[in-house]
Amino acid sequence: MKSFWNKLKKLIIDVKDKSIYFVKNNIMFVLFIISMVLNAIILRCLTVKNYTALSPIMADLAFTLFVGSFGFFFKPKNRFKYYMVWAIILTLTCLINSVYYTNYVSFTSFSLLATSLQIAGVSDALKTIMEFKDFCYIWAPIMLIFAHRKLLKNGYYKKVKVKEKARVSVLKTLVAAAIIAGFFMSTLTGTDISRLYKQWNREYVVMKFGIYVYQTNDLIASLKPQISPLFGYDKAAKEFREYYKEYPQTGEKNEYTDIFKDKNVLVIHDESFQNYLLDTQINGVDIAPNTKRLASEGMYFSNFYAQESVGTSSDTEFTFSTSLLPASSGTVFVSYWDRYYPSIQKYMQNDGYYTFSMHANKGNFWNREVMHKQLGYDNFYYYDKDYDLNETIGMGLSDKSFFKQSTNLLKKIKEKHDKYYGLMIMLTNHTPFEGLTDSSDLDLTYKYTKEDGSEVVNDYLKDTTLGKYFTTAHYADQAIGQLVDDLDKEGLLENTVLVIYGDHDSKIKRSEYDYYYNYNPETDSKYDTDDERYKEFTKYDYELNRKVPFIIWTKDEDLRKKINKEVTTVTGMYDVLPTLGNMFGFVPKYALGHDVFSTDDHFVVFPNASWITDKMYYDAQNDQAIMLEENASIGKDYIEKYSKRAEEEIAVSNDIIVHDLIKKTQESDEIVKGGSK
């Protein structure tokens, strides 16, 4: 027994001595590993807040050991450069994801690199979305620089002892990484692996796999546009056929069937316009009186959600046109523009319509100049070709000038074509909502009278993103009012249907809404959380508040009486094509959504696999749900049913996009020709 304890004691001392020796002779390696793992932990603490989870720490440690091991191929004095390069890469990974999560409650994707040219136009928005905490990760590379300089000054690299060959050190480190990775993998379930592969639930993946494994997996996923078409076609085609056999587009008739047959169509893409604006007043003044009036006179979908992903506006255009979801990796407009997509524009063309789109921005923004042809537009009018940049607000040509010039173009279009379908894409209400703060007629101050009769005016929304958003949204609403008046004066509303949709929410931080709804004029600050007047603007309040308006309106009073109603059932952007299809006389065979008036199963799935029905909102990121219908009796089966359907819809939509399934199954002609009544 004494011999055993002596051997154990000797082993411990031996391990301790070797560890001390290793650390002394590999200081830069050790500092690199510790700092990168700490940064990953800090990121999770500031975002998903799984402070004590061991599995992501093991994953991050295994990753950094793997990356760090190859530094041994360099001489000690040259290893700093290798570790510094990786430190910058991994630090930027944490910093960028920190910024992205703060603003979008998700983690960023390498797919965004493919669309970086699209983001360049809104680079000014960075100053509104970055916070001080986002810079807390840069301590790591700074620390490595100081450590390196100190080691140089002390002649450390000349004293370092290298007893074994580089490949031996690399192999030993890789073995250590493999052992830790093995322990980590033993904690995983089939669901974990599935979520890593599908990459829809990014928050969950980071919580379980750590930020570095997530980002590496995302890099691989971002290559899908080039790789995926080469693999899995047979499986995808089989699931594609099975899905539409289970959820067919029946073309069931209802009271709105063919109601707009042969009418002209003008679609207004209302940039960043959220639904709550219709019921918001500032100092007794409506922010959106014109949009509110059109909603009250027409058909107004008040529980309507956009379903966009990283492609934001372009994703919405795609989903509106095709009733498919955005791509799981990359954006359709940039990465999958060369596929065949049955679209509302093509159905209209098949029925004798001239189709066109108009935008007050460059034609290559979001690759629209190319993608609009693919969607079926006969012509694309854009500002550097068809518009005079005579009034600039924010990102480019102002909405009012855009609409004025577009009205002149419409007059020429009407002279040449009996029937037309047109899209008008607005711009002024685009992040960072700049250019109108000092010239708007909307007074954003908070005015109240104290007990002594004196009046106090607080400029409480000044310099806030939300305040700027109210200002540009108010302007956008005025532009729509002006457009309707101008169209009416020119006779362009006759025999015409207006369709208005908000393309996505404003992406403003939840904290700004919390401040706005809990503003205390007496202190010119937010109510304390323990104040009885304080009501937290929760995560679910924020998610449900992301609704956007969808309005169908016509000047024809007889038709208006038939359609005038508020639709309160939950609907999504992918329901637009089948709903309008029924009204204009065609059936989109491969739509994912449904005609709102021909189904009782109202369900909307989001690209991250969260979903909403009239009864429940389910957050797939956190596996949590909130009831929307009082006293509803919902069990586990309900969540499982719709979660399964959510995954099916995302999968089949992505397979159609990646594998060009509709074209390859040689059914495209049948869709367009056979789909029309």
Written as one string, the DSSP assignment of 80-98 is HHHHHHHHHHHHHHHHHHH
Residue 228 in any domain: the answer is no
Q: Which residues of 210-232 are buried (b: 16+ CB within 10 A; e: fewer)?
A: bbbbbbbbbeebbebbeebbeee
Nearest by Cα to 333 from 360, 372, 361, 385 = 372
Give the residue from 359, 310, 306 showing the smallest Cα distance to 335.
310
Q: Assess whether pLDDT exceeds 80 at residue 338.
A: yes
The domain boundary, picked from 222, 253, 274, lies at 222
Compute the C-alpha angle 470/474/477, nearest 5°. 140
pLDDT per residue as tens digits for the range 71-125: 888 888 888 999 999 999 999 999 988 887 876 667 877 755 555 444 444 444 4
Tokens of 156: 């450390």
- The per-residue pLDDT for 65 is 94
Strands 299-301 and 519-520: unpaired
Task: Give the DSSP H or E segment for 389.
Answer: none
pLDDT value of residue 118: 47
Residue that is last in its domain, among 222, 256, 282:
222
pLDDT at 563: 97
Quick one: pLDDT at residue 116?
45
pLDDT of residue 366: 86
251 and 199 co-located in one domain: no
In the listed set 222, 250, 280, which residue is the last one of a domain according to the structure? 222
Residues 388-444: tens digit of each pLDDT:
999 999 888 999 999 999 999 999 999 999 999 999 999 999 988 987 876 678 888
* Cβ density class 120-136: b for 16+ within 10 Å, e for less: eeeeebeebbeeeebeb
pLDDT top residue among 439 and 584: 584
What are the residues facing 357 on neighbouring strands? Answer: 380, 423
What's the CATH code of the domain at 374? 3.40.720.10
pLDDT of residue 666: 57
Of residues 2 and 628, more confidence is placed in: 628
- Higher pLDDT pick, 34 / 5: 34
Residue 496 or 623, more confident: 496
Q: What is the pLDDT of residue 347?
A: 97
Cα–Cα distance measured from residue 82 to residue 105, given in angstroms and rounded to the nearest whole number: 33
Average pLDDT score, the chain: 88
In this prediction, residue 9 carries a pLDDT of: 65
Range of the domain at 89: 2-222
Give pLDDT, residue 155.
83
Kindly report whether the peptide bond that precedes residue 342 is cis, defined as omega within 30 degrees of 0. no
Q: Quickly state the pLDDT bin for 163 (edges 50, 70, 90).
A: low
Q: Within a domain: residue 68?
A: yes
Using one digit for the tens of pLDDT, what is the confidence trace for 39-78? Answer: 999 999 998 888 778 999 999 999 999 999 998 888 888 8
Q: Are residues 281 and 182 in the same domain?
A: no
- Whether 204 has a pLDDT exceeding 90, the answer reads no
Of the pLDDT bands very low, low, confident and very high (cuts 50, 70, 90), residue 513 is very high
* Confidence category of residue 469, pLDDT binned at 50, 70, 90: very high
Question: Does residue 418 share a domain with residue 373?
Answer: yes
Least confident of 145-149, 155-159, 246-250, 347-351: 155-159
SS3 545: coil
> What is the CB neighbour count within 10 angstroms for residue 19?
10
Q: Are residues 604 and 474 in the same domain?
A: yes
Going by pLDDT thresholds of 50, 70 and 90, the confidence category of residue 671 is very low
> Rounded CA gap, 535 and 519, in Å?
10
User: Is 298 within the bounds of a domain?
Assistant: yes
Instruction: Tell which residue, 375, 480, 465, 378, has the closest CA to residue 427.
Output: 480
pLDDT at 119: 45
How many domains are contained in the chain? 2
State the pLDDT at residue 490: 97
Is residue 618 included in any domain, yes or no? yes
In a domain, 337, yes or no: yes
Report yes or no: 658 and 336 within 8 Å, Cβ to Cβ.
yes
